[in-house]
Each structure stands twice: as structure tokens, then as C-alpha cells.
């Protein structure tokens, strides 16, 4: 399918939280770990920018998502590789939501938040407003599986956290076209990564560049809901490569 918007993606200023550039100053004290927090032992981290990481993260599945913008029902496709050897439960949840096998899923839902130059968020299968979601495995939420996959390459796909640090159906796609270590640290250890965009990243960049409006999700610079509805018209499973 063709691109959603003619021409090249817009050159835009990327949203950058205070901790996304450079290393902390030596004078800064490290954040204290709360006593009630458990120390996680998820196993070796997986960095897809290295041959070692690529060997650890075997692609188990692929899915496609076809997006439309506004009233134009022509679609553009994004293909996501999934890493079920690293996060099997998260991948099974995502696949079930893509296929709609439980009677609900991603088809017909809308992109609900753009943080330009950082991420786009999708997947509220409950209210379609970004405030709720529902797991295909539990009908509610489930615990974050692990943080092994790093956000060290463009186009990583990760679960959105609930207020209780659990996950449901909502997910986001990292939109920065190049990744530096400080950027990866914004997400690493906080959000469960489970896939990567392997086709259609140009489409992702065009969605990232859409004009956004204000509202509950307007936090930071160039952040909010897209002014024109971005809808998943179709989605499904593909054989892995």
C-alpha cells in the first residue's frame, strides 16, 4: 500500500524529556530504590543492535496493521516482528488482540496519542480513548513479563503501563529514527518491549508527524491526540521470516 501522506515525512522537533540527552551529572544523586520494590532478575538483556542480541531474540511471529487517516479509507501497512522466545506471554496476548480470536481486538481502534519524535500510542480496545484496555489472556490486566528487550533500535514496540505497572492491550511504537543510549534509557526497565517494526517504518514516521490536538494526553512538546482519526482498518497474523 502507498504512504498515508504524499512526500517525505515532515522534519519536526522531537519531544525530549529532560533525561533523554547525555549522562547524569556526577553531582546528581542516583534515584533511591523504594524499599517495597522487588529486585527483578529477568535474565540477560537483549540488544537488537548487536549480533549477540539478534541471536538471543529469535523472531517467532509477524503481524500486519493497516492504518487509515481521516475519512480516506485507503490504508498503509506496518509489519511488526514479535519475539516470543523472550516475552512469550506478552506476544501471545498481542497476537490474540491482532487476530480478534477472543471476540475483541485492535481492528477498528484508533491511535490515541502522539508524542512527536518519541512514540505513538494505540490499542485501547475498551473505550478507544487511551484511558483503558483489556488483555486477551485475562480479560483485564497482567503483570509486566520482563524488561529483557532494550529499546536500542528504531521502531521498537512495547506495552503501555497501567497505573499499577501492569499491562493490558495498549501499546506504543518508538518513532525516533535513530537511537542513542540515553534515549533507550527512557524506556528500558520500565516498559515491556516485545516486537519491532520491520516493514512500514516510513508509515510510522508519517503518523508521528501528524498534527495533534490538546487534551488529557498533551504532556510535553508536540504531544496529544491526532486531529484526524488514525484507525486500524485491518490487522492479522503473518508467517515469521
Model pLDDT for residues 7-63, shown as the tens digit of each residue: 444 444 444 443 444 333 334 444 444 434 444 667 899 999 999 999 999 999 999
| Residue 95 scores a pLDDT above 70 | yes
Contact 157, 170 (CB under 8 A): no
Contact 102, 95 (CB under 8 A): no
Q: Cα separation of 171 and 4, whole Å?
A: 21
Among the listed ranges 47-51, 85-89, 185-189, which one has the minimum average pLDDT value? 185-189
**Mean of all residue pLDDT scores within the chain:** 84
pLDDT the model gives residue 148: 96
Contact 148, 204 (CB under 8 A): no
Q: Cα separation of 227 and 218, whole Å?
A: 12
Q: Cα separation of 110 and 101, whole Å?
A: 19
Express each pLDDT in 62-78 by its tens digit.
999 999 999 988 899 99
Which range, 111-120, 134-143, 171-180, is most confident?
Answer: 134-143
Q: What is the pTM of this model?
A: 0.82
pLDDT the model gives residue 213: 83
Express each pLDDT in 199-228 by its tens digit.
999 999 999 999 888 654 445 556 789 999
> 3-class SS at 165?
coil
pLDDT the model gives residue 163: 87
Antiparallel, parallel or unpaired: β 142-143 and 113-115: unpaired
pLDDT the model gives residue 214: 66
Q: Cα separation of 121 and 164, whole Å?
A: 18
Average pLDDT (79-96) is 97
Strand ranges in the chain using DSSP code E only, listed in sequence order: 61-69, 72-82, 113-115, 119-122, 142-143, 156-159, 166-167, 171-174, 193-199, 212-213, 223-226, 230-238
pLDDT the model gives residue 33: 41
Work out the pLDDT band at 96, boundaries 50, 70, 90. Answer: very high
Amino acid at each position: 500500500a502507498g504512504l498515508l501522506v504524499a512526500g517525505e515525512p515532515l522534519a519536526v522537533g522531537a519531544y525530549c524529556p529532560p533525561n533523554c540527552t547525555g549522562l547524569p551529572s556526577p553531582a546528581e544523586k542516583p534515584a533511591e530504590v523504594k524499599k517495597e520494590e522487588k529486585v527483578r532478575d529477568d535474565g540477560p538483556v537483549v540488544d537488537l543492535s548487536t549480533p549477540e542480541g539478534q541471536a538471543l531474540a529469535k523472531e517467532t511471529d509477524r503481524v500486519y496493521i493497516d492504518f487509515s487517516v481521516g475519512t480516506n479509507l485507503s490504508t498503509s501497512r506496518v509489519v511488526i516482528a514479535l519475539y516470543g522466545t523472550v516475552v512469550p506471554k506478552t506476544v501471545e496476548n498481542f497476537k490474540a488482540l491482532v487476530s480478534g480470536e477472543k471476540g475483541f481486538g485492535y481492528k477498528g481502534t484508533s491511535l490515541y496519542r502522539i508524542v512527536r519524535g518519541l512514540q505513538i500510542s494505540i490499542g485501547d480496545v475498551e473505550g478507544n480513548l487511551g484511558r483503558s484496555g483489556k488483555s486477551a489472556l485475562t480479560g483485564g490486566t497482567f503483570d509486566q513479563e520482563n524488561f529483557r528487550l532494550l529499546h536500542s533500535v528504531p521502531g521498537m514496540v512495547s506495552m503501555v503501563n497501567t497505573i499499577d505497572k501492569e499491562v493490558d492491550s495498549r501499546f506504543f511504537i518508538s518513532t525516533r529514527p535513530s537511537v542513542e543510549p540515553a534515549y533507550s534509557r527512557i524506556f528500558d526497565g520500565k516498559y515491556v518491549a516485545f516486537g519491532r517494526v520491520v516493514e512500514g517504518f516510513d508509515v510510522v514516521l508519517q503518523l508521528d508527524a501528524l498534527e495533534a490536538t490538546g487534551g488529557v494526553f498533551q504532556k510535553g512538546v508536540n504531544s496529544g491526540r491526532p486531529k484526524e482519526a488514525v484507525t486500524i482498518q485491518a490487522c492479522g497474523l503473518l508467517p515469521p521470516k
